[in-house]
Structure 1
Amino acid sequence: MTHSGGGSVLKYCKRFLIFGIIAVLLSVPMALYAQQHTYINIKDPFIRKVPLAVSAFKPLSGTGAESLHGEMARTILVEGMAFTGYIDVMDSASFPERPAVSGITGAHLHFKKWTRMGAELLVTGGIIEQQGNIRLEMRLFDPFKEKLVVGKVYTGRASELRTMIHRFCGEISLYLTGKRGVFGSRIAFVSRVGGNKEIFISDFDGYAPRQETHHKSITLSPALSRDGRWLAYTSYVNGKPDIFVLNLKNRAKTTIAFKGMNITPAWVPGKFELMATLSLDGDQEIYLLSGKGNILKRLTRSWGIDVSPQVSPDGRKVAFVSRRGGSPQIYVKNLDTDGVMRVSFQGKYNTSPAWSPSGDKLAYVGIVKNKIDIYVTGFDGSAPMQLTRDQGDNEDPSWSPDGGFIVFSSTREGVSKIYVMTARGSEPRRLVNLPGAQTDPQWAPGYSN
């Protein structure tokens, strides 16, 4: 089945043979476009937002169900692209034509009308629905070049509409930035349930939070594996802090319960291995463990406690918190050379290190003049920059998979809640709408959609 940007609507197949979500490329390969047309640097502090027009979806069979799902699809796409921070979604009231009526292919569009209103990108969509199955035709046009730049077909159940639309959002992000962005990624966090604390997981934007643990105890420090299959965390359900490793698919669970404390697990990229803090010898030190809980190696040996390990994206360094210098500070250990260097120097208390996806920066929590805020520094401690200020206590930073955002917890509205801001510290917004306090957010490092 083939299609070009200026062709007619794809003929509808009466039976859906595939019920997963399948993307069929309708244009030149995306990798080529990503190389030729990448022009947005999401790390740029002076980033310019790109005007994007998203037309209403065309019901290709004209049914009421298609119209309803089309409205839902457009809303999901608009909200998803607005989340990126580099897209300015244009008001549909100013659109010069209605592709949902006139046609969604390049042959039906009058590009000069769109450029006159300032649209630099245009999305059109078509939808077919039958017996709970949906087929989406999605196109991204560059009106100035008068060409189709991304085209996809997605097929799946109506319940998968959000996932299908976010896949296309990822394609738009790839075209503009060279990365698929946050679409499809997930965030784990701690939320109060009654008088207890449990682990929840939500979509990247806080949508559909799901409770994953039911220990009816204090459960902390969630860590999602890069492939999204495993959740490691600490729980006091057995009367002391132990580490649990949960298979999110089959719910199989492993308990890591050495003598003393077993806390702050962190996954090693590309391996079924964890780094964690254990106190089996009395002092809190960092160890390398297998995913089944076997000790592979002791990584730190100092008179002061060593906690909160975070492994660099390349797996060759580990950032952690240590009191070896007197007060809690951030250190980085080179796993190849065993060399250790201190990277935080501002203030007397710095904790919660988090690597950027590129491995060149660390976010962390610092206490300066009794203010708890989030900072970012080079992995060698260079050029520290304060991201939050004068807005309650701000803790638990974690980077988005594309490096464009940092999720964190904050008491700026009273009780602690989950927020996201750009990696530059701008545009903070609350994510999750749940009762009680939420803390310890961790953005899964992989693209799991």
Structure 2
Amino acid sequence: MTAAYSANIQGRRRWRSMFAGLVALAAGLLSTSPAQAQLRVDISGVGATQYPIAVADFANNQAAQSVAEIIRADLSRSGQFQLINTNGSSLDVNSTVEPNDWRNRGADYLAYGSVTQDGGQYTVQYRLIDTVNKNEMDAIAFAGSEKELRRVSHQIADRIYEKITGVRGVFSTRIAYVLQNGDNYELQIADADGQNPQVMLRSKQPIISPAWSPDGSKIAYVSFETEKPVVYVQTLATGKREPVANFKGNNSAPAWAPDGQQLAVVLSRDGISQIYTINADGSGLRRIMRSPLIDTEPTFSPDGSSLVFTSDRGGNPQIYEVPVNGGEARRITYNGSYNISPEVSPDGNNLVYITRRNGAYRVAIQDMATGSEQLLTNGSDDQSPSFAPNGMQVLYSSNQGGRSVLAVTSVDGRVRQTLSSLNGRVREPTWGPFTN
């Protein structure tokens, strides 16, 4: 919690997000080394519609089996696919397939393929068959090194998901989160399934507020290494980072504009936390509006025309929207007396946030047009919701059974995943964008 916030809201129960955990950070040690902890995924619930699909073992070598297993796991996690048992069937990409045979097993769709190796290079070929209409829906080949086979598997799962559902898949996207292990904190980036984690920042003190750039090449976050909060932007490929907001007082809550040219930040340079925009190189600071109370947690609308943010200007924390060029802010949440941590869906139709109901903090989703609300989770302390780039799922952190975990819920609340760390607490999640 910031000093500015404590001074202004003394005794009020803290807001969970930007100000939660704003304590002094030691200098971070940058690293792209693999993290020690993987995330274990537990799934509950099924989607309103499930598509029966068989994913046969890919042919030719051990790597092929891993490719099929990753594809099956991706589709299963979505809750939208019913995996039909293939009984160990292995099909080469050139195998002759009898659609009726697989249809009789209960599979409306069949995916299969081959993995071949030439030195250190692998080629993955796959096919997707509609067994009902007896036609080929997709066929493509990918090439890469052994280390890239997991990424290729996710890309194939994305293609299967999109060909069948009509919605772009997110299996090959990435997530960022903070892992705490004792007094050590790490900003990690992992595949959407929690695997292949990489450490981007280490510190002996908490790290908060990671925010992906729209192209997925950079992350903004807050560091206290100069004994006050400063917003940094780090380039993932090189590890290079630069301070972009280092003004008097607190610099916090970075959020990228859709064009990647600007960020919204929260500064207390004038004595109270207010929202500004700033160019990604640290120039062009501009205050959005003036408020007698705290404005924080800004996030851009998908078209970049407005900012959605949290404010207690009405007495309790609620969510508001203001044109990015300035003007009158309008309140957009009215259900409940405590709503924070907003994010707008990629299509602009929905708003996800944390609401307090009967003393519990839960993830809620609201229709932006009608104002109708649905509670997506039933935990006692859920925090930091973040939309998947296709808008079909929400990533959040949660305290479950005394453990701090990452979790994912579908936007209809039917399917939930829990990504449990094996040796630490995970929090402050944010889902990365599509990158190609």
TM-score bracket, normalised by the shorter chain, equals 0.7 to 0.9
Counterpart-to-counterpart distance in 2, 1:314 and 1:113: 48
2:112 maps to what in 1? 124
Q: CA deviation at 1:410?
A: 0.7
The equivalences for 1:23-422 within 5 A come to 47-59=48-60, 66=61, 68-93=62-87, 98=89, 100=91, 103-105=92-94, 108-255=96-243, 256-335=245-324, 338-379=327-368, 382-389=371-378, 391-422=379-410
Superposed structure 1 runs of 4+ greater than 6 Å apart: none
Q: Does 1:447 align with 2:434?
A: yes
Q: CA deviation at 1:290?
A: 0.8
Q: Which moved more, 1:112-121 or 1:290-299?
A: 290-299
Counterpart-to-counterpart distance in 2, 1:339 and 1:411: 37
Counterpart-to-counterpart distance in 2, 1:287 and 1:336: 11
Q: CA deviation at 1:287?
A: 0.3
Q: CA deviation at 1:132?
A: 2.5
Output one character per residue of 1:254-301: Cα deviation in whole Å (capped at 9) or x when no partner: 112100010110000013210010011111100001112224321121
Larger gyration radius, structure 1 or structure 2: 1
Q: CA deviation at 1:219?
A: 1.4
Q: CA deviation at 1:380?
A: 5.4
Q: CA deviation at 1:385?
A: 1.3
Runs of 5+ in structure 2 lacking a partner?
A: 1-45
Distance 1:381 1:191, change over 3 A: farther
Distance 1:46 1:155, change over 3 A: closer
Contact 1:209-1:432 at 8 Å conserved across structures: no
Counterpart-to-counterpart distance in 2, 1:274 and 1:372: 28
Q: CA deviation at 1:421?
A: 1.1
Report the TM-score when normalising by structure 1: 0.83
Counterpart-to-counterpart distance in 2, 1:272 and 1:399: 21
Counterpart-to-counterpart distance in 2, 1:282 and 1:198: 31
Q: CA deviation at 1:194?
A: 3.3
Contact 1:352-1:396 at 8 Å conserved across structures: yes
Helix, strand or coil at the partner of 1:214: strand
Counterpart-to-counterpart distance in 2, 1:347 and 1:117: 49
Q: CA deviation at 1:142?
A: 0.7
Output one character per residue of 1:109-163: Cα deviation in whole Å (capped at 9) or x when no partner: 1111111122110011112113222111100001122221100011111111111
Helix, strand or coil at the partner of 1:396: strand
Distance 1:301 1:242, change over 3 A: same
Output one character per residue of 1:350-404: Cα deviation in whole Å (capped at 9) or x when no partner: 1100111111111111112211111111235700111112x33111110101111
Q: CA deviation at 1:337?
A: 7.0
Counterpart-to-counterpart distance in 1, 2:288 and 2:370: 21
Distance 1:381 1:331, change over 3 A: farther
Q: CA deviation at 1:314?
A: 1.0
Q: How many residue pairs are counted as aligned between the two chains? A: 390
Contact 2:181-2:425 at 8 Å conserved across structures: no
Counterpart-to-counterpart distance in 2, 1:434 and 1:257: 36
Identical counterparts, % of pairs: 31
Report the TM-score when normalising by structure 2: 0.85
Counterpart-to-counterpart distance in 2, 1:185 and 1:332: 28
Q: Which amino acid counterpart does residue 404 of structure 2 have in structure 1?
A: S
Q: Which amino acid counterpart does residue 162 of structure 1 have in structure 2?
A: R
Runs of 5+ in structure 1 lacking a partner?
A: 1-44, 60-65
Ranked by relative contact order (alpha carbons within 8 Å, sequence separation 6 or more), the top structure is 2
Contact 2:408-2:416 at 8 Å conserved across structures: yes
Contact 1:191-1:439 at 8 Å conserved across structures: yes
Helix, strand or coil at the partner of 1:377: strand
Helix, strand or coil at the partner of 1:392: coil
Q: Which moved more, 1:294-303 or 1:377-386?
A: 377-386
Counterpart-to-counterpart distance in 1, 2:412 and 2:101: 36
Contact 1:229-1:248 at 8 Å conserved across structures: yes
Q: CA deviation at 1:426?
A: 2.4
